[in-house]
Amino acid sequence: VYDICFAVGFNNINYFNRLFKQQTGLSPLQYRKKVLRIK
C-alpha cells in the first residue's frame, strides 16, 4: 500500500487510506483480501 500511495502522488499514507475507505467502503488491506478471495 505504501508504494502505491506514493506512486499515485499521495505524500501521506494515512490520508490515502482515509480517502480509499471513503470511496470503496473498505481499507486498502480489506479490499486486497476481498479481491484475492474472489479470484
What is the model's pLDDT at position 1?
A: 85
Could you tell me what percent of the chain has a pLDDT over 70?
Answer: 100
CA distances from 30 to 8, 21, 36 (A): 19, 9, 10
The contacts of residue 34 (CB under 8 Å, 6+ apart) are 26
- The structure's pTM equals 0.78
How confident is the prediction for the chain on average, in pLDDT?
Answer: 93
Residue 12, pLDDT above cutoff 90:
yes
- SS3 letters across 15-39: HHHHHHHHHHCCCHHHHHHHHHHHC
Rounded Cα distance, 13 and 15, in Å: 5
Amino acid at 13: I
